[in-house]
């Protein structure tokens, strides 16, 4: 450590520029001896490589183009999205009552299972997508193969607790052409 910092000072002593430099060096040496490192900062513009700790990264609010979250699950929730694994993708192995098919996901039915199902839109092989908001569920069914290929039907319910409130299946596509038998279909471009 610099002798200049150890010196006893009294009123009237003159500190020269060289003395101030020695004093600054002495303070730095004293801090290092005590286990402290001098303040050392860089601008973010100085970073050109390396990895930052996640604790150094800010949470960017949605209104500024971010997700407003620090985790993927919270980001998905904030953005109103779902994780890819939130959907079931399953083959239905037994007769099903479509009124109770409420779990969100993608399902496919063989011809035998579709024919045996209750409230089914088709009696031939089909794919069914089920979407739910918790209180409202929509089912969309599309045919693959067979005589009704190129058809799509859908229906919704406003409650998941009373199966009698399901709408009738409405046809959206017939022979790969738009049609709708459930009321008014408005398409806006």
**What pLDDT does residue 139 have?**
92
pLDDT (average), residues 151-173? 82
pLDDT score of 138 more than 80 = yes
pTM: 0.50
Return the bridge partners of 118, or none: 97
* pLDDT exceeds cutoff 80 at 178: no
CA atoms within 13 A on the CB side of 17: 0
**Per-residue pLDDT tens digits for 56-102:** 788 888 898 888 888 877 887 777 776 656 666 777 766 788 888 88
Q: Distance of CA 82 to CAs 33, 122, 128, 141, 156, Å? A: 54, 29, 19, 21, 20
Distances, alpha carbon 74 to alpha carbons 12, 51, 55, 59, 181, in Å: 64, 23, 16, 11, 40
- Which residue in 137, 92, 131, 89 sits closest to 115, CA to CA? 92
Contacts of 71 (CB under 8 A, 6+ apart): none
């Amino acid at each position: 450590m610099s002798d200049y910092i150890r010196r006893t000072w009294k009123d009237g002593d003159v500190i020269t520029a060289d003395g101030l430099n020695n004093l600054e060096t002495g303070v730095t040496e004293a801090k290092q001896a005590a286990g402290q490192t001098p303040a050392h900062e860089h601008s973010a513009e100085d970073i050109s490589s390396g990895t930052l700790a996640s604790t150094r990264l800010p949470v960017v609010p949605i209104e500024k183009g971010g997700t407003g979250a620090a985790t993927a699950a919270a980001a998905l929730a904030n953005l109103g999205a779902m994780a890819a694994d939130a959907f079931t993708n399953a083959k239905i192995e037994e007769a099903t009552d479509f009124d109770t098919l409420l779990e969100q996901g993608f399902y496919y039915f063989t011809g035998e299972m579709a024919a045996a199902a209750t409230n089914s839109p088709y009696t031939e092989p089909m794919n069914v997508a089920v979407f739910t908001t918790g209180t409202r569920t929509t089912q969309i069914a599309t045919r693959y193969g067979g005589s009704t290929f190129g058809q799509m039907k859908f229906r919704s319910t406003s409650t998941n607790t009373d199966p009698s409130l399901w709408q009738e299946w409405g046809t959206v596509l017939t022979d790969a052409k738009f049609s709708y038998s459930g009321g008014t279909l408005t398409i806006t471009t």
